[in-house]
Structure 1
Amino acid sequence: MATPSSPFAFFDELFNKIGERLQPPAWAVHEIQHRAVLFLNHVLQQEPEAQQRLVRQQGRVVQFQWRFVTMQLVATPAGLLDLAPEGATPELTLTVTQDSPFDIVRSSLRGDRPAVQITGDVQLAAEVNWLVDHVRWDVEDDLARLIGDVPAHAIGTGARRVVAALRKFVGDRTGRAAAASGAE
């Protein structure tokens, strides 16, 4: 949660109010979830070890929750993911406990994972953790298919520099805030 002195406190409160009042229609949620599954499967197909691990977990349901957003996924016999059938009972529930989207972005820029509450099967949780630790989207490779290797590499290098600068900025600000609060 953002602290009262945080410049994002206003935006956090606004986000909370909008999220409570505006709920997208069911068809839109379903379509977004399908697009997310397509993206996740695209990334998984680039990592054969991840697919082999998911084959061993076929039929098992994992539920992801953050605030008012819930998504249930099931491992398929092909080692990919699909939306779980309506009413499926999850064997593992992962709930992101950080409410503020700005805090999640800030911690991600520092290289930290958001805080997650894990409920359910320990072995399945270990497999999901392995996937999170080892599967990465190769954006540069996908971009190279569209515009060529050299421009994709140049864009990738520029993006890495921007991310490094943002991480440094966030780290510097976090360090100064911690030093200021420790001096009080």
Structure 2
Amino acid sequence: MNAPSPFSVLTEGLAKLGAGLKAPDWLVDELQHRLVLFLNHVLMQEPEAQARLARQSGRVVKLQWGAFSMQLAATPAGLCERAPVAEADLLLTVVDRSPLDVLKDTLRGERPGVRIEGDVQFAAEVSWLVDNVRWDAEEDLARLIGDAPAHTLAEGGRAVAQALRQLASRLPGMGQA
């Protein structure tokens, strides 16, 4: 007999709650602005990523997930900026509608499902960026508190992340199929 997971009720409830909530426009605008600043901070630490993005200068990618959407344009400096509403060269749509499904994929170390439409070369460059550019949080933390404490905190963070992955793999419906 196949009993439903106790988490299915929670998942359905959160999905219904999330469908009815909408953040104020000023908050969405500010969060998107902060996201662009963070992305550029990470890109500035990777010269190869900047060079690849600079070759795509002026190209626009639209990121879509449910009601959330954001358009980013590549700049001549190899960074990104928010693009005005215009025709996008590349559309990336996250297929999973539920935030919990996206969280499950992330905890397993997988990317969420994405539908890709548009320019193939631009999509290949964006894919390379996603695969190869990582935020070095330990380095940024070391600038604030020093190398040894930053290393200790980073090791603790990695241990917590590993424990969460192990826990997630044991929860019903979250293990590898």
TM-score by structure 2 length?
0.90
2:165 aligned residue (164, 167, 171): 167
Where does residue 131 of structure 1 map in the other structure? Answer: 129
Deviation at 1:176, TM superposition (A): 9.2
**In the alignment, what sits opposite 2:9?**
10
AA of the residue aligned to 2:140: D
Matched with 1:106 is: 104
Secondary structure of 2:110's counterpart equals coil
1:44 corresponds in structure 2 to: 43
Gaps of 5+ in 2: none
Could you tell me how far 1:146 is from its partner in structure 2? Answer: 1.3
Deviations 1:112-168 (A, max 9, x none): 110101011111110000000000000111111111111110111111111112222
Q: Deviations over 1:29-66 (max 9, x none)?
A: 11111000000000100100000001000100000011
Using the aligned pairs only, state the percent identity.
57
Separation in 1, partners of 2:80, 2:73 = 6
For normalisation by structure 1, the TM-score amounts to 0.87
- Structure 1 residue aligned with 2:140: 142
User: Hey, what does 2:113 align to over in structure 1?
Assistant: 115
Indicate conservation of the 8 Å contact 1:8/1:102, yes or no. Answer: no
Deviation, 1:178, is 6.8
The answer (yes or no) to whether the contact 1:19–1:68 under 8 Å persists in 2 is: no
Letter in 2 for 1:37: V
Cα 1:82–1:140 shift into 2, 3 Å? same
Q: Does 1:88 align with 2:100?
A: no
Runs of 5+ consecutive residues of structure 1 not aligned to the other structure: 180-184
Match of 1:154 in 2: 152
Residues 173 and 16 of structure 1: CA distance in aligned 2, closer, same or farther (over 3 Å)? closer
How many correspondences in the alignment? 175
